[in-house]
């Protein structure tokens, strides 16, 4: 059936007829919303094994690897600029030093990004620049690290301004903040983190999202199958030991999927390896 669908898309394009999907993101969203058996892959901090993490180039590497989603970390400078930066300080990822929220955007922009300890020609992007770079090419998971509701409103306004509401996932560490954020814009997907089974039950009961972030401590729980049947995407990570084992033998990913058989969005530092593994399976 998949081969037939691919042939029909190719045939219609060759005949000059309009196809259903015009961008890669629309194709990904079709899978996200209608093919729960298909695993979607998230590139953690972009393709950061090859280029500086969270850089515009890391978004390119994520797309090139075949990832469906790129994870970007959001922080705010001393003068209020929303930027893409994982750490609270710039010391590890740039040639500079100091806390992000104590430096101005101009100061951070002047700092070369570092990769594997070596300064590069890359610079820290603003959130706007990163979203524009990803638009229509790959979905974006925003790991929001600012911590204020006012800044979250700014992020929401930017997503709406760029017409990227369906393309963005807004990750929440505290699921209790979901109702207030949902009111701001119901069209932006919120992805809450569930830390215990009671969290899942509350999140599902609110019916405000179709994706929940879990970890392997939930393995074997009946709620995961129920979520799957209800069309709720289950996000989990292979970061750390799982990815390390897969670098030696990609078959190690198989153990992850046996442990969390309903996980259908997986975040990894090895997107190309996981894409290849899933394609072969």
Q: How far is CA 25 from CA 22, 30, 135, 230, 270, in A?
A: 9, 9, 8, 23, 21
Geometric angle at alpha carbon 44, from 40 and 46, rounded to 5°: 100
Average pLDDT over residues 56-74: 98
pLDDT score of 20? 53
Distance CA 96, CA 145 (A): 20
Taking Cα atoms as reference points, which of 53, 72, 82 lies closest to residue 146?
A: 82
The catalytic residue positions are 44, 86
Q: pLDDT per residue over 81-127, tens digit each?
A: 999 999 999 999 999 999 999 999 999 999 999 999 999 999 999 99
Q: pLDDT per residue over 14-53, tens digit each?
A: 444 444 548 999 999 999 999 999 999 999 999 999 999 9
Sequence length of the chain is 281
Q: What percent of the chain has pLDDT over 90?
A: 91
Taking Cα atoms as reference points, which of 275, 200, 262 lies closest to residue 231?
A: 262
| This prediction's pTM | 0.91
Both tokens of residue 209? 């999202």
Band of residue 281 on the pLDDT scale cut at 50, 70, 90: confident
Q: What percent of the chain has pLDDT over 70?
A: 93
For the ranges 8-17, 189-198, 230-239, 254-263, the lowest mean pLDDT is seen at: 8-17
Domains of the chain: 21-280 (3.20.20.190)
């Amino acid at each position: 059936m998949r081969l037939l669908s691919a042939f029909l898309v190719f045939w219609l394009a060759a005949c000059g007829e309009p196809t259903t999907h015009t961008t890669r993101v629309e194709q990904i969203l079709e899978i996200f919303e209608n093919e729960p058996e298909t695993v979607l892959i998230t590139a953690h901090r972009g393709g950061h094994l090859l280029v500086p993490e969270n850089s515009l180039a890391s978004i390119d590497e994520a797309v090139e690897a075949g990832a469906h989603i790129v994870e970007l970390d959001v922080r705010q400078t001393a003068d209020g600029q929303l930027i893409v930066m994982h750490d609270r300080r710039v010391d590890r990822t740039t040639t500079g030093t100091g806390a992000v929220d104590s430096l101005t955007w101009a100061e951070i922009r002047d700092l070369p990004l570092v990769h594997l300890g070596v300064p590069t020609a890359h610079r820290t992007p603003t959130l706007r620049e990163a979203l524009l770079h990803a638009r229509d090419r790959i979905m974006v998971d925003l790991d929001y690290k600012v911590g204020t509701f006012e800044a979250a409103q700014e992020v929401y306004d930017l997503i709406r301004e760029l017409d990227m509401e369906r393309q963005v996932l807004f990750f929440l560490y505290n699921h209790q903040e979901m109702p207030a954020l949902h009111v701001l814009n119901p069209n932006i997907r919120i992805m809450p983190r569930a830390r215990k089974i009671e969290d899942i039950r509350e999140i599902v009961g609110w019916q405000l999202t179709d994706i929940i972030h879990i970890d392997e401590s939930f393995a074997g729980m009946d709620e995961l199958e129920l979520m799957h049947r209800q069309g709720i995407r289950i996000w989990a990570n292979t970061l750390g030991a799982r990815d390390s084992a897969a670098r030696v033998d990609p078959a190690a990913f198989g153990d992850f999927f046996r442990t969390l058989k309903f996980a259908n969005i997986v975040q990894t530092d090895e997107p190309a390896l996981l894409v290849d593994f899933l394609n072969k399976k």
